[in-house]
Amino acid sequence: MLKRNLISSVAILAGVIVGTMAAQADDKISIIVGGYEKHIYLPAKLAESLGYFKDQGLDVELINEGAGVDAEGELLAGNVQGVVGFYDHTIDLQSKGKMVESVVQFSQAPGEVEMVSSKHPEIKSPADFKDHDLGVTGLGSSTNFLTQYLAVKNNVALGTFTSVAVGAGDTFIAAMEQDKIQAGMTTEPTITRLIKKGVAVPLVDMRTVEATRTALGGTYPAASLYMQTDWVAAHKEQVQKLANAFVKTLHYIHDHSAEEIAAKMPKDFMVSDPEGYVKALAAGKGMFTEDGVMPEDGPKTVLAVLGTFSKNVKGHDIDLSKTYTTEFVKAAK
């Protein structure tokens, strides 16, 4: 009897341990960020810094990855549960039969600028891209999508220029200084660093909603938290908690100054120029949504942009209603 009770107790204890481990594994959420030091993806690191994930009882791991196309690969492989990256990937992936959706829409403008090397004043508009090397974070990335759109829109055919993967920050700046690229698409704080060093000047500015409408023809939802649709459906409680944390973060951005926000970020994000970092953030933080809701006219603009050049998107029936959801942000507390 004693032996039987002992075996039973051990079995129960083992079951409890296994159940606890499974619960912990299920509660751990890994999110890959396409460069969390970039202003466009600031809500990810800010939410962590403010403790909003922990407030929701979430164990969130943020993984830094410089290019959005690599991040989407990790998501599809099941190595992470979410990506902080551009919404346009949801449309591109649907055209390939992969269903992912934006569950929190961080921004309504790309926050990107096409920069031109100071050594190449002959590039006066995207119409001059032909026979040049153009920097992007990665091939298949959103910066590459936007670069191809600007070229095609200005009658420069694909294949007559070269997209070069140079990342962001130091690697982007070095590529420009070494003339490996003559122009390129990048974000803050790299933009400010390039201008201050006299390395490059802005050509096409998409840091504000107004400038974006001029460049792309409408509101362009960009930075977002996107996840595989099946995972969202199976983990609604966790997704709601993530939405709660991120919507609270977006409210914080709108309710606080650039100085206050910058104070919550890691000091190395300032790249030894806190004044420039704050100034750029103050000028650009209007790109963020206040509530995480997808701008009503945004998805159509993104589809139109991708449809201009993408063989994947052209000729495909894209169901935009399946590329995002407002269920969780509208229920956020």
Residue 56 confidence (pLDDT) above 90: yes
pLDDT in tens, 74-121: 999 999 999 999 999 999 999 999 999 999 999 999 999 999 999 999
Give the residues across from 179 on adjacent strands.
Answer: none
Residue 65: predicted pLDDT: 84
Supply the pLDDT for residue 67: 63
Q: Residue range 271-282: average pLDDT?
A: 94
191-237 pLDDT, tens digit each: 999 999 999 999 999 999 999 999 999 999 999 999 999 999 999 99
Q: What is the chain's mean pLDDT, rounded?
A: 91
Sign (positive/negative) of CA torsion 168, 169, 170, 172?
Answer: positive
| Cis peptide bond prior to 189, omega within 30° of 0 | yes
Rounded to an integer, what distance in angstroms lies between the CA atom of residue 183 and that of residue 123?
8
User: What is the enclosing helix (H) or strand (E) of 25?
Assistant: helix 2-27
DSSP-based three-state secondary structure for 187 = strand
Helix axes 142-153, 209-216, angle to 10 degrees: 50
Q: Which domains does the chain have, with CATH numbers?
A: 2-109+222-269+290-330 (3.40.190.10), 112-206 (3.40.190.10)
Q: What is the pLDDT of residue 68?
A: 59
Sorting pLDDT into bands at 50, 70 and 90, what band is 66?
low
pLDDT in tens, 124-172: 999 999 999 999 999 989 999 999 999 999 999 999 999 999 999 999 9
**Residue range 282-307, pLDDT digits in tens:** 999 999 999 999 999 999 999 999 99
44-79 b/e (C-beta count within 10 Å ≥ 16 → b): bbbbbebebbeebebebebeebbbbbbbbbebeeee
